[in-house]
Each structure stands twice: as structure tokens, then as C-alpha cells.
Amino acid sequence: MGPLKGIRIVEIAGVGPGPFCAMMLADMGAEVIRVDRVEPIELGIDKAPRYELLNRGRRSVAIDLKRPDGVEAVRRLAGRADGLIEGFRPGVMERLGLGPEPCLAANPRLVYGRVTGWGQDGPLAGAAGHDINYIALAGALGAIGRAGEKPVPPLNLVGDFGGGGMLLAFGMVCALLETSRSGKGQVVDAAMIDGAALLMMMIVGLRAGELWSDRRGENVLDGGAPWYDAYETADGGYVTIGAIEGRFYAQLLDRLGLAGEALPAQNDRAGWPRLRERFAAVLRTRTRDEWCSRLEGSDVCFAPVLTIGEAPRHPHHRARGAFVDIDGIVQPAPAPRFSRTAPDVPAGAPAPGADTDAVLRDWGFADAEIARLRESGAIGG
């Protein structure tokens, strides 16, 4: 089930944004076949396949792309697919003989999706990099952090996943929709640096209107405003306040017992240190759970700061089924939600190559062909 049921995607295994994109498509019902290496790449992290949660919901074939018959096998898979996803540096797929030109020649309807850090062209296109580098050059990292302190990496959410994998998934679905009308495939070029810049659009607009400063930690949404920040509680926990609108701010003062106190106006920046001092002092008088009982569900714009382990247990998540248990691992459920074509709960992440024979057979390979590929070392699993 799912809105993408019937769509077939070939994923050339990688790390980060490519698998995230493939997971999103598989979560929505697409049949995604992950082409893993015969000898898995070493990342310096000893992790069992079941914990590779980004790989959930799809089957895996192990194919050696250094062997001509392995490359030809992937071309045949691409010939039967609606889309292909790859995340190598520019030129790698071309050198393997699996670039857009031969794949589109074999399958003119193919949507060929590629995700890189710097993009397919430009002075930095061939350089190595990671999320932190891409979001730095996009202007995103420099805006995140406390006043007077160095920038704080927001995990790898902005470049790898928001600006990379999610952008590629959006591009793939856009191109698949267009292909359904035109009958023609095309290349989708998703660059993490482009996506990170795009995610900054609202902040760019605020800065253009002189409503945002390049100085970190001095703005409305970066922890500069005392009514949009996280505060420590009596038990060492933290809670968040986001009372931007005036009516919500008034409720905040009332709930904190500060409504009758002579305090600076909400948007008096010169008075922000005083407001922060008072909010911090009051919020330290109760535990995190006590503040939840007092503020949660109100229009104060409040939420506790939960750990990764605590989040699935929160009553709101439990009521919405926002987390699911797959193979004994609690993890986020597919999102977004659909009223008519709700996707099934995905299967867990497979071991690399676990489904090689079954996938090849389902995608048109004869048993004798599969045996020859295994004998030559072109496939594993």
C-alpha cells in the first residue's frame, strides 16, 4: 500500500542522503531495490544491518560494479525501473558505465536522481565534504549558535537529510509525475548545498528586510529572544518556550506568575537580558514534569526537551502512532499521512545482498543467468 505503489526504483547504495531519499520513497509504497556492494564499505562503525534504519522497507541485491557483467546487470534493472538513485561524486557513475546517458538510452522514461554535496558542477564539485561543510557555505551554519560562541552543528539534519535526501525525494516525485504526462525521463540533480540554502529562505527574507542580524544568538528564532528559547528546570531537565505572538506571550507571563510584575516590553531588545533572567529564575523553581503539568497543551507554546529515547513514550506521539516497532527497534513511522492510500508499516533493514536471487528473478533474470553471475563473482549474497 501507499501512494507510490507500483513505482519501481533502483538505489545504488550509499550513505546519508541517498538512503534517506530511498527510505522515503519506500515508506510511501514504492518498490525500491538497493544495490549493495559485494564487499560492504567499511565506515569505521561496527553496526549490525538491522540498525541501519535508513535501509528499511526495501530488498537488497549485492552486485560488483567493478565487473562488466555486474554493470550490465544494473543496467538491466534500470531498464525495468521508473527511477534510479545514486549519491557518488560527479563522474563516478559515468566511469562505471552507469551514467545518465546509457541508462536513459536503455530506458527513455527513467528518472535518474543524483545527490551530491557541492553539485554536479562548479569549482568545488569534485572535492570531498560532509554536511557541516555544505551548510557552512550555504550560510546556514553561521546562523546557528549562541551569541559570542562558535557555530553549533545541527546534527546532520540540514545538509544530509533536509537539504539532500528530502530534496531529492521531492525532485524524484516531481519528475515521475512529469514523466507520466510526457513519457520522457530526465536527470534530477540535488545538491546538499542548494537544499541547505533553500531551507534558509525565510531567514534570508528577514535579513533582507533588516529584521535579522548576521550576529548569532541575537535574533528572534536563534535563541536571542528570551521568549523563544530553552530553559533549565529544577531537576536539570529543559523546557522550551516559543511565545512569539503577543497573545501567547501574555499567557506565558500569566502562567509564570509574572503578569503583574514591572518588566520590559516583549520586543524591547534592550530589556531582553532582564526578561531572560526572570524567565530562567522562575522556570528553575519546578521540575520539567511539573512544568509539563502546568503548561503543556496551553497556548504558551511550550514543550519539554525530550531525549531520543523519551520521545516515543510521550502521550502525544503514542496517541498519533508517530513511532513504530520494527524488528524490536522503535523508530519514526512513515510520514506524511494519507487518508486513502496509507502506507503499510515497512519491513526492517535487510542484510546487504540478502535478497539477491529473489530480486533478480522477480526483475526478469533467468535462473541460469543468476548462476552465471554468481559463478563470475558479479553478485553476492
Q: Which residues are catalytic?
A: 130, 160
Contact 161, 228 (CB under 8 A): no
Contact 376, 368 (CB under 8 A): no
Amino acid at site 118? W
Q: Please state, in angstroms and as integers, the Cα–Cα distance from residue 306 to each residue in 47, 242, 354, following that order.
A: 25, 16, 36
Q: Please state, in angstroms and as integers, the Cα–Cα distance from residue 328 to each residue in 52, 154, 337, 347, following that order.
A: 13, 28, 23, 12
The count of residues in the chain is: 381
Amino acid at site 86? E
Task: Give the integer Cα–Cα distance in Å for 381 and 59.
Answer: 12
